Structure 1
Amino acid sequence: MVLEHYIADLLYRYNCVVVPGFGAFLTQKASAYINDTTNTFYAPTKSIAFNEQLTTNDGLLVSYIAESEKDSFDNILAKTEVVVKEWKRKLGKGEKLNLQNIGLLWTNYEGSVQFQPSQEVNYLTSSFGLATFKTVPVTREILKEEVVALEEKIPFIISPERRDSNRFRPYLKYAAIFLLALSSGLTGYRLYQDGILTNQVARQDANQQVTKQIQEATFFDTSPLELPTVNVDAVSISISKTPIRGAGIHHIVAGAFRIKANAERKIQSLKNQGYNAAYYGTNAYGLHMVTYDRHDNAEDALIALREIKRSQSSDAWLLSEK
C-alpha cells in the first residue's frame, strides 16, 4: 500500500492529515510572490509542514483508504501501522524518507525529524492551472540624469549672429510678414462665411423637422387598429369621398395615418364617442389626417381643443385655414 498517495489526495481538501503513530502533515495558504534573485513568479499555494507531535489517530486517513480499497477499517489500520514502522526504521538508521509529491523527511543530530516540502504539486485548488514561470528583468535608463551629466561635461557655446551685408533680406522679411497676415485674414473671412452658411442650413433643417413633427401629428402605427364591432345604421364612411376642406376654418386634428384603413377606423371611433369627426385629406408627407371637429369661430375652436387635450389626447392640435 502506497500510503503517501492517499495523504496527497487528502491534502487537496484538508489542512491536517494525521498519519497514526508517525505525525501530521499540515497545510497553510501562502500568497503569490516573486523571487527577486531568480526573477521567478510563484502562484498562491498551500505550504506543507510536518509535526511529529500529532500522532493520535483521528480516523481521516484510515477511513479514506478503507473506502478507496473497499476494505475494513481494522485491516487498513494494521497495514498503516506496518508502513509507519518501516518509515521510522529508515529514519532511525539515518536514511532520508522521500514521500512523492509531499516532501523529504530525515533525522538531525538531535534526533528530531526534519521536513522539506516538495514544490512540484500545488495543493491549492483555486490556483489550478497557474504554473511557476520566470521573467526577464527590465532595465530602466534614467535619461534625465544622463542628460544632466552630459551638460556638465560638454559646455554650450553661443556664437554671435552673423550679419549679411546684403540689404535685400530685410525687405524679404517684411514681405513674408505681409503675406502671412493677408492669408490669415482671408482664411478667417472664409471661415466666417462658412459659419453663416452652416447656420442658415441648420435653421432650414430645424424648420423642416418641426413642420414634419406637426404634420405627422400623433399616430404612426402601420398595423391596422383593433376596434370592437359596432352596428351602424347610418351610411358607412368612405375616405374616397372628396375632402371637406372648405366646410370649416379651424380644424382640431386627431392624428395622421399612413394607412387609409386606420384613418377610417379612427373616424368611426370618434363618431361613436360623439365627435363630428371627418377626413381632412393628406398632408405634405402623404399621411391621412383625421379631425375631431371643425369650427368657424376661432374662440370656439380653442375651447374645444382645450377640452379634447384634457379628456382625450394631449397630442391634438389646431389647424386653421386662411
Structure 2
Amino acid sequence: MKLAKYTYDLLLENETVIIPGFGAFVSTYKPAEIGDNEIKPPLKEISFTRQIRNNDGMLVASIARKAKISQTNALKRIEKECENILYQLDKGEKVVVEDLGVLFYNEKNEIRFTPFQEDNLLLDSFGFQPVSMDDIIEEPVVEQKTKPIKLPEYKGEPLIVYHEGRKKVGWYWYFLILIPIFIGGYSIFTKFSKSINKEIHSVPIPQTEKQEIIVQTITPSDSVVNGSIARNEAIETVKTETAENTVSTDTKFYLVGGGFKSEENAEKFIVRLKERGIDGIMIGQKGSLFLVVIGSFNTESKAYNSLNEHVKKYPDWNLWVLEK
C-alpha cells in the first residue's frame, strides 16, 4: 500500500488521518501499564473506521507537497489506490499497511484492521521497550559486623569525682526582689501619664474660617451638546472597530494550517502560530476535526499563491486550501 508511508508520517503528529472515500486511521493514547510480569511503556493504539470518509485535505496536501504535484493529481492517486485495496479485499486477500497493520474482511463482509504491536507511534515513548519483571533480582543485604575496640586498662590511682551541692533558695527571696521592681514601675507609669495629659490640654485648637463655595453652573444646552458629541465619538469608534474586525462575507477559500480531533490541541496550535507571528483562527468543525485557518481569500488563485508562499517558508507543515 503506497499510501502507508504518508499515513504513518501524519499519524506521528496527528490523531486522525482520513483517506478520502475509504476511511480513517485513528490513534488513541494508552498509558503505561503493568501486565503479566511486564511493564509496558505508554503508546498510541491505531484503529481503522469506515465511518469517517470526508476529505479534510490533510492527506491530499501532504502527498501534493512531497510528490511535487497538484492537489487534484494527488487526489486521483488516492482514489486509484483505494480502488486497488478494495479489489484485493474482494478477492479475499489481506492488505498489509506498512508499519501500521493489516486490513481484511470479517465474516460479515466488513473491513477490519489488526494493528502491528512492534511499532509505537508515540514520540514521547520513542526507544522505550517493555521491561520484564522477572529480570529484577533482589540482592541480599549483607550485614557488616564491627569488631569491638578494646581500651587499655588504667592502672593508675583511682579517680575521685566531687559533686557540688546546690544551695536551696526559698521562694520568699524571689518575692522580696519583685516588690521594689513593681513599686518602681508603677511610679514611672504614673509620672508618664500625667505628662501626657498636660501636653494634650496645652495643644491649641485651630479656628476654622468660613470659605466661600463657588458653584459652577452648567447650562442645559452645554450638557446636551457635550453629551451628543461624546455619543457620536463613541458610535464612530464602535463603527471603526466593527469594520476592522468583520470578516468579509464574500470569502470562499481558506488556507488551513491544521485539523485536530480535540479543540484543546487546536487552541495549542493557535498559540504556536502566535509565537511565529502568524494569526490563526479556529473556524469550527469539519467532520470530527477542528480546523485552524491562517488566511482567507476571495479567489482560488490568491489562496494557492498564499499556500505556495507558506510551503516555501514552512515545508514541514500540512497546509491545504478549503473551499467553503
Q: TM-score, normalised to structure 1's length? A: 0.42
- Computing the radius of gyration from Cα coordinates, the structure with the larger value is 1
Q: TM-score, normalised to structure 2's length? A: 0.42
